[in-house]
Amino acid sequence: MSATPQRRPWWLALAVIIIGAIWLQQGYVLPDAAGYGGVGPGAFVMLVGAVLILLGLTLMIQIARGASFDPQEAESAEADAAPSYKAFAFAAAGAAIPLLTMQVLGFPLTAMLSFVLVTHAFGSRRVVLDAAIGLVLGVICWAGFSWLGVTLGGALPLAGW
Amino acid sequence: MDAFDSLMTGFGVALQPAHLMWAFVGSLLGTAIGVLPGIGPALTIALLLPVTVKLAPTAAFIMFAGVLYGAMYGGSTTSILLNTPGESGSMMTALEGNKMARAGRGAAALATAAIGSFVAGTIATLALTFLAPAIAELAFVFGPADYFALMLLAFTSVSVVLGTSRVRGFIALFLGLAMGVVGIDGPTGQARLAFGSPDLLDGIDITVVLVSLFAVGEILYVASRYRSAPPAVNPLSGGRWMTRQDWKRSWKPWLRGTALGFPIGALPAGGSEVPTFLSYTIERKLSRHKEEFGKGAIEGVAGPEAANNAAAAGILVPLLTLGLPTSATAAVLLAAFQSYGLQPGPFLFVNSADLVWGLIASLYVGNLMLLVLNLPLVGLWVRLLLIPRPYLYAGILIFAMVGIWGVGTSWMDLLLMFVIGLAGYVMRVYDFPIAPVLIGLILGPLAETQLRRALSIGEGNPLVLVSSPLSATLIVLALAVLFLPMLLRKLKANA
């Protein structure tokens, strides 16, 4: 394998513990309507939360002992390479942009924006061509899936379409 | 009605022109996605789920079955020609197959993989035909405690078998279980973990989670570590096809691979990694050409490929008869059943006989179609690899958006897509398995229901969970599975 420096992702274990704590607390505050079985709506939630906390603590022990975390292999990707956070940011923006635009600009234009951001993340620099391809793909998907009975909202809600 | 009559009825369904067409579409799509990186059968079926609004269940499942089998064929093509196994089951194939291709024997490797997959797929479907009704018959006597114990077994086995670390496997599983409890609690009508959002009252849709983890997570991960060098495809032309000797060396590994793949695939532990790995080890031990292993031994392609395909059929046994998914793909298929209001299990064979038997019959048909599609058309499939990666991954994101926005045009789903996509990225970087999340998400609510039902019957006494011999055995097995990885590690050390 590679000579990657040992990583100690404490925050990962902490995140698991926090999620567990939220579930435990939320399960605890649920009103108890246990019925015959003595198991109300909160019991299973609390169980899941408690186990997550235990697992998070176990993970913390493993990290302290120096457990290795090797990135998974994927096609077209170099698992051992140093990650490019710039590329990551563009791809993440492509996944986040629908939050802002989907309800206003509709599916085809949102698809175009996402397409441009992701192709940019992968190193393409022909923005106009990428936008054109993205728009065509977005329109085809919107029209095709709407025809198949999948609701994808208006084509351009801003204009009232 | 015995299995043979039912199967004939099934063929009557599967051979209707419209259904043949859907089987063809599924096989075509499945092969294509098997060849392309970044998308697997589970993701494809999840993206096709919205289409079920308009499609009759039988047609939809025939198409999904084509995708499931087609992806196996396509996966072997890329692992042989590119040394990039598209899914974990093709890892062993890549080992020997790619060496064969480099030695100019790519055509023979592809042929033994395709024919082996066909042989294994057909035999395994045959086994499914006669085994599934018998198991479904048995499942009628399952009580809530038995079902709960069975799901416990599935939980421990997927967490232990998939991935490298048990702790990380269980964290993945429990994150899935945690998402599974979101929404309105059936028996009491209480809103759980909805945090005041009306969109969360319906729960978190499995399509959203699956598409975000597999597609969005993968895109982010590959983007951050992108290797822009074009893939080196081994040339196909000029090599000899399978010789007489190749056939002689292939047929036994095909059969042995099937014998390993089907039963292991059918177990709740399931999956295709274990049988393909075992098949490879066994073939290497039994081969008379041991010196060729590591340099392109045809047995090392024939056996694991057969095991891989047989395991895919095996996975359908617990899914159809018990409603128990043991892989990510099976989890989506279960979601597909649920979206039609169907619950797989013993009653499916009674209430939806046409659907089940049409599906099983279409597996035979699909296998034959795939053999025809793959033997002469390999060159065409390889062309798909020429799609520029930026367009491929950006396109996958658009399809992911269709899948997620199409669930209910909900802004909350888009938020979940982003957050769970980031989680998918983190899971890849820190080597957490993804399938347990989906199994937890889809089986968790079912397990909770069975648990509460069992405890109600036992009036709160937890001993009711081990009161029947079956449930006690299953719980013991579930605990035993926790210690399986040590055994596997020993096997790997010997290999």
Residue B270: per-residue pLDDT: 60
d(CA B226, CA B216): 15
| CB contacts < 8 A (A, B) | 246
The beta strands (E) that lie in B67-200 are given as 183-184, 191-192
d(CA A90, CA A142): 24
Q: Quick check: A107 and B401 CB within 8 A? A: yes
Residue B237: per-residue pLDDT: 58
Q: Quick check: A138 and B398 CB within 8 A? A: yes
| A7 CB-side CA count, 13 A | 15
Residues 6+ positions from A92 with CB-CB distance below 8 Å: B220, B418, B421, B422
Q: In angstroms, how far is CA B403 from the centroid of its own chain?
A: 19
Q: Quick check: A75 and B411 CB within 8 A? A: no
Nearest residue of B to residue A99, measured between CA atoms: B414
Q: What is the largest CA-CA distance in chain B?
A: 73
Nearest residue of A to residue B400, measured between CA atoms: A95
Residues forming a β-bridge with B226: A77
pLDDT higher than 50, residue A1: no
Q: Where are the domains of chain A?
A: 10-64, 85-159
pLDDT higher than 90, residue A31: no
Of B352, B363, B320, B362, whose CA–CA distance to B131 is shortest? B320
d(CA B71, CA B42): 10
Query: Which two three-digit tokens encode residue B333?
Result: 């298929």
> In this complex, is the C-beta atom of B218 within 8 Å of any C-beta atom belonging to chain A?
yes
Q: Enumerate the residues of chain A whose CB falls inside 8 A of the CB of residue B228.
A: 122-123
d(CA B109, CA B102): 11
Residue A148: per-residue pLDDT: 78
Band (A12; pLDDT cuts 50, 70, 90): very high
Under-50 pLDDT residues of chain B: none
In terms of C-beta density within 10 A (0-12 exposed, 13-18 middle, 19 or more buried), how is residue A29 classed?
Answer: exposed
Of B165, B177, B185, whose CA–CA distance to B209 is shortest? B177
d(CA B393, CA B390): 6
Residue B1: per-residue pLDDT: 52
Q: Enumerate the residues of chain B whose CB falls inside 8 A of the CB of residue A23.
A: 178, 181, 193
Residues 6+ positions from A30 with CB-CB distance below 8 Å: A40, A41, A42, A45, B190, B192
Q: Quick check: B391 and A119 CB within 8 A? A: yes
Distance from CA of B411 to the nearest CA of A (A): 7
> In this complex, is the C-beta atom of B433 within 8 Å of any C-beta atom belonging to chain A?
no
Best mutation site among A2, A4, A75 for testing chain B: the one with the most B CBs within 10 Å? A75
Which residues in chain B (164-193) have CB-CB distances under 8 A to chain A?
165, 167-168, 170-171, 174-175, 177-178, 181, 185, 187-188, 190, 192-193
Q: Enumerate the residues of chain A whose CB falls inside 8 A of the CB of residue B397.
A: 94-95, 114-115, 118
Which residues in chain B (64-93) have CB-CB distances under 8 A to chain A?
84, 86
Q: Which of A40, A102, A137 sits opposite B395 (nearest CB)?
A: A137
Residues 6+ positions from B288 with CB-CB distance below 8 Å: none
Q: Quick check: A76 and B411 CB within 8 A? A: no
Give the three-state DSSP class for B95. Answer: helix
Mean pLDDT, chain A, as a whole number? 88
pLDDT higher than 60, residue A4: no
Residues 6+ positions from B178 with CB-CB distance below 8 Å: A19, A23, A48, A49, A52, B440
pLDDT higher than 60, residue A5: no
Nearest residue of A to residue B424, measured between CA atoms: A72
The interface predicted TM-score of the complex, written ipTM, equals 0.93
> In this complex, is the C-beta atom of B252 within 8 Å of any C-beta atom belonging to chain A?
no
Q: Enumerate the residues of chain B whose CB falls inside 8 A of the CB of residue A54.
A: none
Of B232, B238, B310, B222, whose CA–CA distance to B271 is shortest? B310
Q: Would you say B185 and A33 are in contact if contact means Cβ atoms under 8 Å apart?
A: no
Helix axes B353-383, B3-14, angle to 10 degrees: 50
pLDDT higher than 90, residue A42: no
Q: Enumerate the residues of chain A whose CB falls inside 8 A of the CB of residue B409.
A: 151-153
Q: Which of A45, A103, A148 sits opposite B51 (nearest CB)?
A: A148
Distance from CA of B333 to the nearest CA of A (A): 19
Nearest residue of A to residue B441, measured between CA atoms: A48
Band (A2; pLDDT cuts 50, 70, 90): very low
> In this complex, is the C-beta atom of B263 within 8 Å of any C-beta atom belonging to chain A?
no
Query: Which two three-digit tokens encode residue B403?
Result: 């899948």
Which DSSP letter does residue B462 get?
A: G
d(CA A108, CA A156): 8
Q: Quick check: B421 and A95 CB within 8 A? A: yes
Cα-Cα-Cα-Cα dihedral sign, residues B305, B309, B312, B314: negative
Residue B23: per-residue pLDDT: 92
Nearest residue of B to residue A18, measured between CA atoms: B175
Residue A36: per-residue pLDDT: 63
Q: Dihedral angle at the C-alpha atoms of B430, B435, B436, B437, nearest 10 degrees?
A: 80
d(CA A115, CA B402): 13
Output B237-243 pairs: Cβ under 8 A, ≥24 positions apart.
B238/B104, B239/B104, B239/B105, B239/B106, B239/B107, B239/B108, B240/B105, B240/B107, B240/B108, B241/B107, B241/B108, B241/B111, B242/B107, B242/B108, B242/B111, B242/B112, B242/B115, B243/B108
Is residue B71 within a helix (H) or strand (E), and if so which, with residue range? helix B57-82
d(CA B385, CA B456): 56
Q: Would you say A13 and A63 are in contact if contact means Cβ atoms under 8 Å apart?
A: yes
Q: Quick check: B411 and A30 CB within 8 A? A: no
d(CA A38, CA B265): 37
Residues 6+ positions from B247 with CB-CB distance below 8 Å: none
d(CA B437, CA B419): 15
Residue B289: per-residue pLDDT: 83
Q: Quick check: B228 and A148 CB within 8 A? A: no
pLDDT tens digits for range B314-343 = 888 899 998 888 888 888 999 899 888 888
Q: What is the CA radius of gyration of chain B?
A: 22
Q: What is the CA radius of gyration of chain A?
A: 23
Q: Enumerate the residues of chain B whose CB falls inside 8 A of the CB of residue A141.
A: 398-399, 402
Helix axes B244-266, B273-286, angle to 10 degrees: 140
Residue A6: per-residue pLDDT: 63
Cα-Cα-Cα-Cα dihedral sign, residues B327, A80, B431, B413: negative
Of B432, B208, B442, whose CA–CA distance to B344 is shortest? B442
Q: Quick check: A107 and B188 CB within 8 A? A: no
Q: Dihedral angle at the C-alpha atoms of B410, B411, B417, B418, nearest 10 degrees?
A: 180
pTM: predicted TM-score of the whole model, two decimal places: 0.89
